[in-house]
Amino acid sequence: MNHFLSIHDVADVHQLITSGIIAKRNPFSDQQMGRNKTIGLLFFNSSLRTRISTQKAAQNLGLNVIVMNVGQDSWGLEMEEGVVMNGNKAEHVKEAAAVIGSYCDIIGIRSFAELQDRDKDYAELVFQQFKKYANVPIVNLESATRHPLQSLADCITIEEFKVKKRPKVVLTWLPHFKALPQAVANSFCEWMNHMDVELVVTHPEGYDLAPQFVGNAQVVYDQDKALEGADFVYGKNWSSYQEYGRVLSQDPSWMLTEAKMALTDNGKFMHCLPLRRNMKVADEVLDGPRSLVIEQAANREWAAQAALKEVLLGMLEE
Amino acid sequence: MNHFLSIHDVADVHQLITSGIIAKRNPFSDQQMGRNKTIGLLFFNSSLRTRISTQKAAQNLGLNVIVMNVGQDSWGLEMEEGVVMNGNKAEHVKEAAAVIGSYCDIIGIRSFAELQDRDKDYAELVFQQFKKYANVPIVNLESATRHPLQSLADCITIEEFKVKKRPKVVLTWLPHFKALPQAVANSFCEWMNHMDVELVVTHPEGYDLAPQFVGNAQVVYDQDKALEGADFVYGKNWSSYQEYGRVLSQDPSWMLTEAKMALTDNGKFMHCLPLRRNMKVADEVLDGPRSLVIEQAANREWAAQAALKEVLLGMLEE
Amino acid sequence: MNHFLSIHDVADVHQLITSGIIAKRNPFSDQQMGRNKTIGLLFFNSSLRTRISTQKAAQNLGLNVIVMNVGQDSWGLEMEEGVVMNGNKAEHVKEAAAVIGSYCDIIGIRSFAELQDRDKDYAELVFQQFKKYANVPIVNLESATRHPLQSLADCITIEEFKVKKRPKVVLTWLPHFKALPQAVANSFCEWMNHMDVELVVTHPEGYDLAPQFVGNAQVVYDQDKALEGADFVYGKNWSSYQEYGRVLSQDPSWMLTEAKMALTDNGKFMHCLPLRRNMKVADEVLDGPRSLVIEQAANREWAAQAALKEVLLGMLEE
């Protein structure tokens, strides 16, 4: 079964990036591939880019699309096994996954971290259960710990805009008043570790990401130092992994400004969006020529198309 | 007008079951039938199986599908005639039904019992009003008193799995802490009364279903006795019909366990889903080889496809 | 860029009306026009007719359709520029519009007046921002001050039902207990000022619409006098424009009854719907032969199809 849950499901990352770039040039050339197949997109959480870009990519491939907001359109789902279901969740994932898998040829799922219990979030129960019971390929539309369609779009964007053979890519923590998941940052590190880049991660102390995601990246607690000579600055807020889910700092000096970006080597700015302006990043950066956030978001369509094509090809081989 | 509101709209139940089984073998052979036609699916209540399986079946038939959560995507609808509309419902069904009927060639509707007023629920006002004013075929996606697409899927499933010419089918009440409608139980009895089965209904006293639905079924208040020699055990909770909408019992001894199922003749277990595990039915039954709940839910697609095909054929004849 | 935000974006109103009437006769003749193009429909507010008729019209033209309830499916959007985004809105329209515009070839938007601040509502910030940043044609599915797809459907309906060369058309205020926007009334006046009709607007004092919309219409504060000899009576409630957003009157004598309609010249009744029966209009009018509300709502499909065709043609020319 060809799932797309993380980079570990990808046979050849560089071939996948190329596939995305090819889809961008010729979006409709594989339109027969999805014919009479249906992808179900299940949203446990809000979504804009993922919701629209995945629908669009699926339609480019000729797939039928069925979208469902879980718990709003349908019933709350129990994920734990062996429990007496006398609470507010009316259906068990064992049934729901198997049933949806009987209607849909592929299932895409978005389910965020709850940021209450690290072990629980990092066990990725929702995805594990769907993988176990749905009997069809599962596509990660952002899980508690990863956002691979975002990371693939990020790789495509860096590939398109890099001017050096081995660019310096800096992932920088940005201030935010709410506790946000580590998924995008984790996933970005994981994919960058497969790319020919110099990866630096910078954040206040206490915000270290899980080591399995950081990989070979250099970790620097001084943002200014990290930014020196950067070709790409990837901004993101996340809550603490060690003191799980806590907001340890809202230090406004970590906000990205043109003064900060001046430390880079004419660095480009990237962010997965949504983004709170003038809290995480100043207008001057976002509205200036170094911002790639729109190009990056636009590449979500081609990332999704490359991933779905991979899944469809895997189905043909079976 | 070929509505699909209940079994009374079906010319030949056995032909319809066969049509579902044929659709399952060859889902896309009628794909020209729905071309340039649109089905609107209106949900007044939550839905998972019905929502996805009906969209899927419609797409198999080449229909365009438009889904709307009434009251959430659109306005609250007034169903009563002659009232001064100075409350919280901004639109009358007379207009809404006629307008939706002008855009859609078929309208599917889900609207549950409110369990406050028996006469009102059993009058099926929502469906009667849409039938009266929409001027297009109406398909019942579960009404206050019936769930015919579920019952048709149930018939297909029994047809597929029966090993005796005339199997014993037991509908058993299961414990639940919430007041649930009688629709699935009513509808199941009504359809089983048209099948060549021995139908037994078992529940605690006070839970008798309306006689027009029970029909020729034998009613037994002793669950163990009812289960003896059963080929199919169909579990469902419902609230009282006599003391309308009340939960008279939550007796845990009515939960289905393997010990209970051992009383059957190697009986298969069925349930319409969603289902609260270890409250209505024990994990051991659901996770064992006698459970048909996934096969049954999968058959919702073919039931919907057979019903929609019937409706489309009726439109061609006009 | 061929937007469809108001009548000012229409090159030839009469040609557009004719295009709608032709689409009604032959809905699928332009089905190749939208092939491999996608329209995104963004709803900031509830919708029934607009939601369904626009989807239907888009499908008639072969467009793919992606529907999103903003703030419910996705994030709350900040519309103001230069702000520090530390409130409850997680994304800025600058990003959202550009991103959606990268996925969709056309964007339709519904966003009502908030009725708190007249200057803000009448500045139409949501539409101005999407127009500025989306880089694709924007279609107005009802804005704070206008509802051009409704007005176009109204024009089509009057064209179909008029029996005089220059009919008398009366827009009459109707009583309602809630504060409603002026959008439909504004837009109706604006379009009627381009038609060969005698336009009269009647309402209690204090309910005058903005002069730029009233145009050459005659304003009469006596409803009975206004209705005399009317061929079409267009009913609508709106809140005060002068004392912005206030309900100054709920005078029940302004409700339309058969006695009122008897003052007309066998006048037809029109209303954009939804409509509160027996508060704004009596059942006897709505259920009698002079009501055109269903025909008018049905024409929303052909108005949307004509408008979208215009937008698509504009894209081909670029």
Q: Provide the β-strand partners of residue A216.
A: none
B68 and C53: CB-CB below 8 Å? no
pLDDT, tens only, C112-124: 999 999 999 999 9
Contacts of residue B48 in chain A, CB cutoff 8 Å? Answer: 68, 73-75, 91, 96, 99-100
Residue type, B197: V
Average pLDDT over residues A49-66: 98
Nearest one of A98, C51, C210 to B273, comparing CA atoms: A98
Residue A230 lies in a domain: yes
- pLDDT reported for residue A72: 85
Structure tokens at C233: 């009576």
Chain A hits for B283, CB-CB cut-off 8 Å, are: 81-82
Structure tokens, B310:
């019937």
Tell me if residue A295 falls in helix, strand or coil. Answer: helix
Q: Please tell me if residue A174 touches chain C, with a CB cutoff of 8 Å.
A: no
The answer to whether residues A17 and A125 belong to one domain is yes
Task: Identify which of A68, A83, A84 has the shortest CB distance to residue B51.
Answer: A68
What is the spatial distance between Cα A285 and Cα A74, in angstroms, rounded to a whole number?
41
Q: Are A126 and A96 in contact (CB under 8 A)?
A: no
Same-domain status, B126 and B164: no
Establish if B191 belongs to a structural domain: yes
DSSP secondary structure letter of residue A255: S
Are residue A139 and residue A154 in the same domain, yes or no?
no
Chain C from 46 to 105: CB within 8 A of any A CB: 64, 66, 68, 73-75, 78, 81-86, 90-92, 94-96, 98-100, 102-104
The answer as to whether B2 is a domain residue is no
pLDDT-above-70 percentage for chain C:
100
Residues B165 and B260 in one domain: yes
CB–CB contact B83 C56 (8 Å): no
A14's CB contacts (< 8 A; 6+ apart) are none
Quote the mean pLDDT of chain B: 97
Please check whether residue A1 lies inside any domain of the structure.
Answer: no
Contact C91 A273 (CB under 8 A): yes
Q: What percent of chain A has pLDDT over 90?
A: 97
Question: Is residue A265 located within the same domain as residue A305?
Answer: no
C162 and C120 within one domain:
no
| pLDDT(B61) > 80 | yes
Section A278-306 average pLDDT: 98
How many domains would you assign to chain C? 2
B59 is in an annotated binding site: no
Mean model confidence pLDDT for chain A:
97
**B159-185: average pLDDT:** 97
Residue B1, in any domain of the structure: no
The predicted structure's pLDDT at residue A316: 86
CB contact under 8 A, C273 and B99: yes
Per-residue pLDDT at C316 exceeds 90: no
Q: Does C74 have pLDDT greater than 90?
A: no
The pLDDT of residue A18 is 98
Query: Are C303 and C60 contacting, i.e. CB atoms less than 8 angstroms apart?
Result: no
Question: Is residue B1 over pLDDT 80?
Answer: no
Does residue C39 lie in a domain region?
Answer: yes
Same domain, C29 and C116: yes
- Domain range for C159 is 150-297
Cβ partners under 8 Å of residue C315, min gap 6 = C2, C37, C105, C106, C137
Average pLDDT, chain C: 97
CB nearest C274 (choices: B36, B68, B75): B75
Q: C156 and C75 in one domain?
A: no
Find where tokens 């579960």 sit. Answer: B142
Express as a percent the part of chain B with pLDDT over 90: 97
Is B48 annotated among the ligand-binding residues? yes
Please, are residues A19 and A306 in contact by the beta-carbon 8 Å criterion? yes
Q: Which of A53-57, A167-171, A173-177, C86-90 shows the lowest per-residue confidence on average (mean pLDDT)?
A: C86-90
User: Is the residue at A2 inside a domain?
Assistant: no
- Tell me whether residues B69 and A66 touch, CB distance under 8 A: no
- Average pLDDT of the segment spanning B57-72: 96
CATH number at residue B110: 3.40.50.1370
Provide the pLDDT for residue C261: 98
Average pLDDT, integer, range C180-206 = 98
Which pLDDT belongs to residue C318?
72
**What integer pLDDT is reported at residue B99 of this predicted model?**
98
C16 close to C2: Cβ distance less than 8 angstroms? no
Report the distance separating Cα B209 and Cα B207, nearest Å.
Answer: 6
Q: What is the pLDDT of residues C226-254, one digit of tens each?
A: 999 999 999 999 999 999 999 999 999 99
Burial class (CB in 10 A: 0-12, 13-18, 19+), A253: exposed
Would you state the pLDDT for residue B48? Answer: 95
- For residue B298, list chain A residues with Cβ-Cβ distance below 8 A: 99, 102-103
Judgement on whether residues A78 and A157 belong to the same structural domain of the protein: no
Q: Tell me: the pLDDT tens digits for B92-145?
A: 999 999 999 999 999 999 999 999 999 999 999 999 999 999 999 999 999 999
In tens, the pLDDT along B270-314 reads: 999 999 999 999 999 999 999 999 999 999 999 999 999 999 999
Angstroms from B186 CA to nearest CA on chain C: 32
Task: Convert chain C into a string of H (helix), E (strand) and C (coil).
Answer: CCCECCHHHCCCHHHHHHHHHHHHHCCCCCCCCCCCCEEEEEECCCCCHHHHHHHHHHHHCCCEEEEEECCCCCCCEECCCCCCCCCCCCEEHHHHHHHHHHHCCEEEEECCCCCCCHHHHHHCHHHHHHHHHCCCCEEECCCCCCCHHHHHHHHHHHHHHCCCCCCEEEEEECCCCCCCCCHHHHHHHHHHCCCCCEEEEECCCCCCCCHHHHCCCEEECCHHHHHCCCCEEEEECCCCCCCCCCCCCCCHHHCECHHHHCCCCCCEEECCCCCCECCCECHHHHCCCCECHHHHHHHHHHHHHHHHHHHHHHHHHC
| pLDDT tens digits, one per residue of A1-29 | 699 999 999 999 999 999 999 999 999 99
Q: Per-residue pLDDT tens for A75-97?
A: 889 999 999 999 999 999 999 99
Contacts of B288 in chain A (CB under 8 A): none
Pairing state of beta strands A268-270 and C268-270?
Answer: unpaired
The stretch C275-289 carries a mean pLDDT of 97
- What Rg do the C-alpha atoms of chain B give, in angstroms? 19
Whether residues C91 and A275 touch (CB distance < 8 A) is answered with yes
Measured distance CA(A149)–CA(B257) in Å, rounded? 44
Residue C183 and residue C87 in one domain: no
Chains adjacent to C (≥3 CB pairs closer than 8 angstroms): A, B
Amino acid identity at C204: P
Same domain, C92 and C58: yes
B218 in the same domain as B138: no
Q: Is residue C1 part of a domain?
A: no
Q: Tell me if C298 and B103 make a contact (CB, 8 A cut-off).
A: yes
CA distance A141 to chain B (A): 19
